[in-house]
Structure 1
Amino acid sequence: MLVADRYRLQTVIGRGGMGEVWQALDEVLGRPVAVKLLLNDGADASAEARFRLEAQTSARLNHPHVVGTLDFGSWEDRCFLVMELIDGDSLADELTAGGPLAPERLAQVAQHSAEGLAAAHAQGIVHRDVKPGNLLSDRNGTVRIADFGIARFVDDPSGALTTTGQIVGTGLYLAPERAIGTPASAASDMYSLGCLLYHLAVGAPPFEAPTATALLYQHVDSPPVPPHQRGAALPPAFETYLLSMLAKKPEERPTARQAADWFAGGAWRGAPEPLPPERPAAFPSQGRETQQTGGGRSGGQGRRRAPEQRGTGSSRRRGAPARAAVTPTPAPASGAGDGGWNTSVHRVPPRRPGLRSSLRRHFGVAAVVGGAALFALALLVGMAFF
């Protein structure tokens, strides 16, 4: 069957509520493509509008982790959408075939998915239906986001409900704010991605219930069971970050850009932070100290060396070998350059006070005592006179 005189349909590779997806050949360019045909049974009056919105939305995104849109049109009263053909399976098929994913593969899925969502969010697009069936993986393991059929723009005034009153999206991965009727946001996509990663890690979604209402209540009120308690072997850092994506409050979740960078950097392995660079040794070599005793140092620099002088003394008390003391060197008459005299980094023995200093100290004490006595005498005379 030839669609629009160009796309030769070959094999059905998927079916959904809105249409069916065929593997096809673009006979004009000679390349394989995927053609999505809208069902024409008229069951949903808004299906064509949503189908057209998917084409317009995905066409705005040109990113290696988003399935690209190549063409859109109408054929025999049926809309068709031509997309890139991904040679691989969905993550739902990968989970069914191999069970829970290993941490390395799960981190790759997380990074690629977050990269695609970050590109969509940067364009003001919210996917609203992040689930394993909408993430496609090629033969090299590269993950791409597909099916923007129910995506909406952030500035779209429409609410989170369809005309029939049903919440748009898949209940197993629905964010709490959407469960109570709040419009979807970028943070809602991140919650859905967290539920998806939890499902791929454990083999089951974080919340399950026999009825849709009970499931929505769990999203709103129940904390998720940590994955390791359900048999998942995730590094602690990975598990902590995954649980942060499942936070009940949207503002407490990481953004898609933050999540992509976090998983790309390998922090999920829980590796320790790199050590700070080594600091230089506390005491320079003897040869360098000798050079620093020259006359080119300023007085301020000499004072900054004082802690090292005290450190040398304490080293001597702890049993470190003593160094020869160097006496101060007189400065030139002009006093320029070093504030009047220069000192080395070695501790100099303190000088004993001389006779003149002792006399000055005793004279000062006597003067203070005499002044206090005269003040007291004057006070008594004044009081007697009064």
Structure 2
Amino acid sequence: MLIAGRYRLRDTIGRGAMGEVWRAFDETLGRPVAVKLLLPHDSDPAAPSRFRLEAQTAGSLSHPHVVAVLDFGEHEDRLFLVMELVDGGSLADQLAVSGPLPAEHVTHIAAQAALGLVAAHRQGIVHRDIKPANLLLGADGTLKIGDFGIARFLDDSGAALTATGQIVGTSLYLAPERALGRTAGPASDVYSLGCVLYQLLTGRPPFQADSALAVLHQHLDAAPVPPRRLGADLPPAFESYLLGLLAKEPESRPTADEVADWFGRGAWRGTREPLPSEHQHRGRPDRPHVTSSRAAAPASSLSAPTAHSDRAFAPVAGTEWQTSVHRSATRRARLPFLRRSRLVAVLGGAGVFTVALLVGMVWFSPGTGSARGPQTHPSASTSPATPSPSASYETASSPPAQLAEQKPERAPEAEPGPKKAGRPGKHKH
């Protein structure tokens, strides 16, 4: 089939809710392309408008990690969208063939997908349907985000032409705020990307159940199992940061720009540090906070978070892992206070002991009246008028009655002098 006189359709390579995608060839420019044809939607009159919106949304983006839109038109009452052909399949196809992927491979996917989201978010566009089937791989391994069919502009008051209260997207990758019917924002795409990365590492999404409604409840209330408990071989820093992408509160997640930077510079190879106590106010004392360790930096050289690295990001409260982080942070926060309290107590006790010792030494020293016996030194009655230090202390501290009793304690004796020789005449009678 020839579309618009130049695009020759060959075989179908995908089918979604709105349309089917064909591998095609642009005979005018001589290059392979992908053509998306809108399916008949007699029961949904808004489908053509959404299809046009997809063309306008994706067409406004030009980025190596976003599928490029090349043309848009109508053929035989059917709208069509021409895009660049990404012929390496999707992540969904790769998961079906190979199962879980190595951590290093997943980091490359994470960095590229985040860069594509950065380009969209800077244009005020929220994808709203990030999932393995919409992340396409080129033959050289380059990842590109496709299918902006339910994307919306942040200033779109009509919520991308969806009915009021309707939740659009795939429940396995839906952010908690969207499960509550709130407006999707850039943080919603980051959460969905976290779900995809979790599945790439473990082979299963973070939440799964028998019904879409049950899955939505898990997004709201349940904590994801740490990937390493499911057998994923990845560094602690990677696990902690990934759980931070799955934070329940949008403001607790990193931005797409920060995700791209963190994975791109190799910080995922580091060792997770416990969450500092000053960051525990961010929605959950859990956010596994990830530090900005470089790829080759040892654990002992980890530094504080930088502006574009590690914000206090982590899973919801209530998990064993998160509780241990909270308790550890609480003990660390109390330790300096306890040390200071013990130091003050020791110093205070030593001071009291020293003062008591000095008082006792002065009080019971030989120079005080309360502990000495009668003075027998011959100079007691001839001491100079100026009192000695010990005498002045005794006078100041002894009560008057005691002083009165002490005065007559021993009368001064006359100093013995040389006997006068008697005159011979006076003693003769």
Q: TM-score when scaled to structure 1?
A: 0.69
* Contact 2:153–2:160 under 8 Å retained in 1: no
- Is the alpha carbon distance of 1:19 and 1:246 closer, same or farther for their aligned partners in structure 2, counting shifts above 3 Å? same
Query: Which runs of structure 2 are paired with 1:271-350 in the superposition (5 Å)?
Result: 271=295, 273=297
* Contact 2:152–2:159 under 8 Å retained in 1: no
**SS of residue matched to 2:169:** coil
Counterparts of 1:204 and 1:40, CA distance in 2: 34
**SS of residue matched to 1:65:** coil
**SS of residue matched to 2:20:** strand
Q: Could you tell me which amino acid in structure 2 is paired with residue 60 of structure 1?
A: S
* Contact 1:190–1:256 under 8 Å retained in 2: yes
- Is the alpha carbon distance of 1:8 and 1:191 closer, same or farther for their aligned partners in structure 2, counting shifts above 3 Å? same
Q: Could you tell me which amino acid in structure 2 is paired with residue 253 of structure 1?
A: R
* Higher mean C-alpha displacement, 30-39 vs 11-20: 11-20
- Is the alpha carbon distance of 1:41 and 1:181 closer, same or farther for their aligned partners in structure 2, counting shifts above 3 Å? closer
Q: Does 1:252 align with 2:257?
A: no
* Contact 1:128–1:184 under 8 Å retained in 2: yes
Q: Does 1:48 align with 2:48?
A: yes
Counterparts of 2:156 and 2:253, CA distance in 1: 23
Q: Which residue of 2 aligns with 1:152?
A: 152
- Is the alpha carbon distance of 1:120 and 1:134 closer, same or farther for their aligned partners in structure 2, counting shifts above 3 Å? same
Q: Which residue of 1 aligns with 2:332?
A: none
Counterparts of 2:181 and 2:159, CA distance in 1: 8
- 1:163 CA drift (Å): 2.1
* Contact 2:71–2:81 under 8 Å retained in 1: yes
Q: Which residue of 2 aligns with 1:32?
A: 32
- 1:135 CA drift (Å): 0.3
State how many pairs are aligned. 276
* Contact 1:160–1:183 under 8 Å retained in 2: no
- 1:230 CA drift (Å): 1.0
* Contact 1:176–1:219 under 8 Å retained in 2: yes
Q: Which residue of 2 aligns with 1:132?
A: 132
**SS of residue matched to 1:88:** coil
- 1:47 CA drift (Å): 1.2
Q: Which residue of 1 aligns with 2:95?
A: 95
- 1:225 CA drift (Å): 0.7
Q: Which residue of 2 aligns with 1:2?
A: 2
Q: Could you tell me which amino acid in structure 2 is paired with residue 34 of structure 1?
A: A
* Higher mean C-alpha displacement, 165-174 vs 113-122: 165-174
Gaps of 5+ in 2: 271-294, 303-429
* Contact 2:46–2:161 under 8 Å retained in 1: no
Deviation digits for residues 89-134 of structure 1, max 9, x if unmatched? 1000001100001111100110000000000000000000000000
**SS of residue matched to 2:89:** strand
Q: Does 1:123 align with 2:147?
A: no
- Is the alpha carbon distance of 1:161 and 1:58 closer, same or farther for their aligned partners in structure 2, counting shifts above 3 Å? closer
Q: Which residue of 1 aligns with 2:18?
A: 18
- 1:43 CA drift (Å): 3.4
- 1:15 CA drift (Å): 1.0
Q: Could you tell me which amino acid in structure 2 is paired with residue 68 of structure 1?
A: A
Identity of aligned residues (%): 64
CA RMSD of aligned residues (A): 1.6
- 1:215 CA drift (Å): 1.1
Q: Could you tell me which amino acid in structure 1 is paired with residue 215 of structure 2?
A: L
Q: Which residue of 2 aligns with 1:340?
A: none
Q: Which residue of 1 aligns with 2:204?
A: 204
Counterparts of 2:188 and 2:41, CA distance in 1: 32
* Contact 1:40–1:77 under 8 Å retained in 2: no
Q: TM-score when scaled to structure 2?
A: 0.63
Q: Which residue of 2 aligns with 1:301?
A: none
Counterparts of 2:160 and 2:226, CA distance in 1: 29
